[in-house]
């Protein structure tokens, strides 16, 4: 019984890592679509999101079955509940990639992002994507140090967000209101992807240590 | 045992309704701060958010205790897991109110929202606040019809969001980039509050019927 439970839990975490891989693809393709003004790639992200939603439902169903049939307590219970939350966060990261792809699609054949801020948006996207890649590994390895490192990694994202606001609110901004609104919303979406990545890493820390990251002193 | 469980579950739903009441206050005060350019009220929302976070932790702890000690199955299990999710959604609604309050604070002594779009933002805020009020009642009564009605109520929010984009991207927009960015982000925050309200209502439908709203035919 105990061994079966542990195997089912491992399978659930493998599923979470797979979903995280799909999210990584979604973030990468959405950014490609955005920076190239590529409607086809944008469509791929938008229509592909249903797969992430279905995968989420499968994880939820198996978590629910585990809770019903195995009645876990203590750290096992904590792990199943954390998995339920992690899968919600991953699904939201997929949704946010869809939002990026939709802005890309809306502006085709033009680019949503003016040249002047392309490096900033590119960097935001790279930070977000890197965080998703690291979260995949963190889910697989359940390594607390890696998870704690990620918790502090979104500081660059905050700086980038501030830099993008400085850019688009400066007197030099010559790209009009539409581009400014697009850049502000894109910044918000990438920032939220990063927030969710941190949140998933937090939950891994909680699963492994039984403590929230603030309480884990390293 | 069974009776004690049912009492604890009722207490948990009362706590959820209380938190929802606090969110309602946060949305209302954030909007007041925004439309009046009132820094003091904005501060109240921002500093008050910690209470919502603490209340969330209390609900999470008691849900966890219930799962550990009472080992619920079937619909009881479904209800506890749903409560865990609902409290996350409510906390996010509080965070979004803080985002609104922060935009208000940033622009004091000016108003973030130009007169031309005040009616639109006012209406968005009213729709969001009304949805939060209805969700409080839905959590208390667990009334499926009310919950299903709310699921379709965010159509007006979508329309308002489109109308606000039409306004700020029109050739007549004379309020500059900063105001346009503020209005776009504010629209996003109110829309997300509405999304979360719908999501909480969805979960109530699931708790009561065991089916997701799409599957409940009324």
Secondary structure of chain B as H, E, C letters: CHHHHHHHHHHHHHHHHHHHHHHHHHHHHHHHHHHHCCHHHHHHHHHHHHHHHHHHHHHHHHHHHHHHHHCCCHHHHHHHHHHHHHHHHHHHHHHHHHHHHHHHHHHCCCCCCCHHHHHHHHHHHHHHHHHHHHHHHHHHHCCHHHHHHHHCCCHHHHHHHHHHHHHHCCCCCCCHHHHHHHHHHHHHHHHHHHHHHHHHHHHHHHHHHCCCHHHCCC
**Residue B49: which residues within 8 A CB-CB, separation 6 or more?**
B26, B94, B95, B97, B98
Q: What is the mean pLDDT of chain A?
A: 93
Q: Which residues of B touch A188 (CB under 8 A)?
A: 185, 188
Answer whether B65 touches A (CB < 8 Å).
no
Q: Which domain holds residue B145?
A: 2-215
According to the model, what pLDDT value does residue A218 have? 54
Mean pLDDT of all residues in B166-181 = 94
CA–CA gap between residue B154 and residue B197 (Å, rounded): 9
| Side-chain-side CA neighbours of residue A209 (13 Å) | 19
Answer whether A178 touches B (CB < 8 Å).
yes
According to the model, what pLDDT value does residue A5 have? 86
Question: Is B85 in Cβ contact with A67 (below 8 Å)?
Answer: no
Number of inter-chain CB pairs under 8 A, A vs B: 59
CA–CA gap between residue B101 and residue B98 (Å, rounded): 5
How many CB atoms within 10 Å of residue B14? 12
Distance from CA of A200 to the nearest CA of B (A): 14
Residue B185 has pLDDT above 70, yes or no: yes
Mean pLDDT of all residues in B99-103 = 98
Q: What percent of chain A has pLDDT over 90?
A: 84
Residue in B with minimal Cα distance to A187 = B185
Reported confidence tier of residue B109, pLDDT bands at 50, 70, 90: very high
ipTM for this prediction = 0.90
Summarised one tens digit per residue, pLDDT across range B114-173 is 999 999 999 999 999 999 999 999 999 999 999 999 977 788 999 999 999 999 999 899
- Domain with B109 in it: what CATH number? 1.20.58.220
Question: Is A74 in Cβ contact with B68 (below 8 Å)?
Answer: yes
Answer whether A184 touches B (CB < 8 Å).
yes
User: Which residue in the set B68, B165, B177 is minimally distant from A73, CB to CB?
Assistant: B68
**How many domains does chain A contain in total?**
1
């Amino acid at each position: 019984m105990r061994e079966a439970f542990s195997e089912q839990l491992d399978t659930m975490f493998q599923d979470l890592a797979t979903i995280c891989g799909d999210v990584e693809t979604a973030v990468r393709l959405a950014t490609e679509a955005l920076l190239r003004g590529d409607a086809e790639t944008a469509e791929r992200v938008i229509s592909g999101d249903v797969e992430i939603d279905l995968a989420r439902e499968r994880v939820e169903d198996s978590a629910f079955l585990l809770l019903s049939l195995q009645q876990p307590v203590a750290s096992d219970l904590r792990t199943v509940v954390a998995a339920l939350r992690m899968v919600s966060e991953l699904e939201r990261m997929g949704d946010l990639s869809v939002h990026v792809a939709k802005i890309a699609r809306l502006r085709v054949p033009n680019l949503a992002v003016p040249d002047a801020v392309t490096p900033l948006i590119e960097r935001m996207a790279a930070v977000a994507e890197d965080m998703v890649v690291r979260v995949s590994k963190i889910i697989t390895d359940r390594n607390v140090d890696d998870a704690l490192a990620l918790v502090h990694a979104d500081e660059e994202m905050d700086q980038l967000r501030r830099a993008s606001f400085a850019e688009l609110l400066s007197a030099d901004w010559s790209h009009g209101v539409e581009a400014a609104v697009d850049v502000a919303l894109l910044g918000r979406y990438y920032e939220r992807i990063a927030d969710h990545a941190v949140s998933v890493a937090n939950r891994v820390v909680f699963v492994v240590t039984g403590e929230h990251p603030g309480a884990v002193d390293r």
